[in-house]
Structure formats: C-alpha cells, structure tokens
Amino acid sequence: MRLVLVGPPGAGKGTQAQFIAEHVGVPKISTGDIFRANVSEGTPLGLEAKEYMDRGDLVPDEVTIDMVRNRLLEKDAVGGFLLDGFPRTVPQAETLDDILRESADSKLDVVLELVVDNEEVVRRLSGRRTCRTCNHIWHVDFDPPQQDGICDLDGGELFQRDDDKPATIENRLEVYDEQTAPLIAYYAGRGVLVGIDATGPVDDVTLRAIDALRPYSAAER
C-alpha cells in the first residue's frame, strides 16, 4: 500500500503512523523525524532545516523533495510506504506523483486525513513529550509515561519539541491552513481521499483508521 497521512500539526499523525505502518506492513517515512535527526546530528541539511522548523515554517520544497525522493528510492519503500508529513504543499504532491510514476510506474492508493479542531491541536501539542532515543510520542495528560520525563519503552529521556511553544504552534496552524489544507481538495479531486474523526482515545482512532483503509489493502482488492 502507498499511503499518505495528512492533518494539522498535532492531529496525531506520528502517533497513528507507527501503528498503521505496522498493521499494513510498510515502512513509515516521516519528514519531520528525518529533519529532527539531521538537526540533532548537526548535518548541513539539519542546519538549513532548523531555522525554518524553529519558526514553524515549512522547509523549502527543493530541499524537502530531494530528501524524500532519495528515501523513496530505497529498497524497503519500493513496494509500499506510509508517508507522515509529506506532501505538505501542492507542488510537493505533484512531485510525489512524478516520482512514483518514474520510479515504479505506480501511484498513491490512499490519502488518510485525520480530522481534529484547533482547540484540541493546541491541547495536544502543548503537552507532547518525545523520547530522545526511540522517538515514541507521549502526552503529559492523555498518554503519560509512568515516570515523569522517562520513556516507558526504553528508559530514554523525554523532551519537549522547540516548535511546540505557543507562538510557534500558532504559526504552524496558519501555515497549515495556507499551504497544506489545499491538498485536501487536490486529493479529493483525484478520488483518493478518506477522512476520519481523529478525536477520542488513541486506540479508537487507530481502529477507525484501519477500518477506513480496509478497502485499499491488497487482500481486500
């Protein structure tokens, strides 16, 4: 399955991506995670991306597209993938169509939209904590670790993302409305968009997602 997750910052894309990718049996490719790994390693890509990420702006398309193109050409992604955080602009979506056509004579099967309102997004982002070693996502109220600041899964240190400060969250929501929301109409027009209610407990959202994707899985076609 070739699948894209779309939704505003804090909709739960990263949280759901892990479960869905495992369920469907495809690699999860998160542009946010790739950028953050480059930032923490201090690579030239990370240094360039950091200034945009800290403001809550998008990293320029030319940088992002090359990075994703290279990742999609890796062996594990040839048969399918779950993209989290890409595409985020209509030019990125058009380029993704080109990459798939050129590399594997294929196209996207489905774009899953996680629908959640801004008030909930702010609540989720302000309490988010991420494990420094395994990247697992926690929330101080909705999904707290047993011990404050420590990941239950591997004992790693939990940190708050720099772009989860209130002013940056506000800008990220504006950027989403202006630059990413037009993708909803783009993909609806191609007949590949499926939306689900992404509110309520994480497990309920996962079940809704798996249900919505069932018609697109190879076994069902």
By C-beta, is 166 or 220 nearer to ligand AP5?
166
**Nearest-angstrom CA–CA distance, 103 and 68:** 13
Establish if 143 lies at the interface with ligand AP5 (CB under 6 A): yes
CA–CA gap between residue 57 and residue 172 (Å, rounded): 7
Check binding of 128 to ligand AP5 (CB under 6 A).
yes
Q: Which stretch binds ligand AP5 (CB under 6 A): 21-29, 48-56, 104-112, 145-153?
A: 48-56
In the complex with ligand AP5, the residue whose CB is nearer, 97 or 218, is 97
Cβ proximity to ligand AP5, 31 vs 105, nearer residue: 31
What is the C-alpha to C-alpha distance for residues 42 and 22, in angstroms, rounded to an integer? 30
Q: Residue with CB nearest ligand AP5?
A: 32
Alpha helices in 109-149 (DSSP H): 118-126
Task: Choose which of 4, 12, 72, 136 interacts with ligand AP5 (CB under 6 A).
Answer: 12
What separation, in Å, do the N-terminal and C-terminal C-alpha atoms of the chain show? 11
State the angle between helix axes of 61-72 and 44-55 in degrees (0 to 180), rounded to the nearest 10: 120
Distance CA 62, CA 43 (A): 17
Q: Does 9 bind ligand AP5 (CB under 6 A)?
A: yes
Query: Amino acid letter at 26?
Result: V
For CA atoms 193, 89, 50, 70, give the dihedral sign. Answer: positive
Q: Which residues are catalytic?
A: 13, 88, 128, 161, 172
Considering the complex, state which of residue 102 and residue 162 has its C-beta at the smaller distance from ligand AP5: 162
Residues near ligand AP5, by CB under 6 A: 7, 9-15, 31-32, 35, 52-53, 56-59, 64, 85-86, 88, 92, 124-125, 127-128, 137-139, 142-143, 163, 172, 200-202, 205
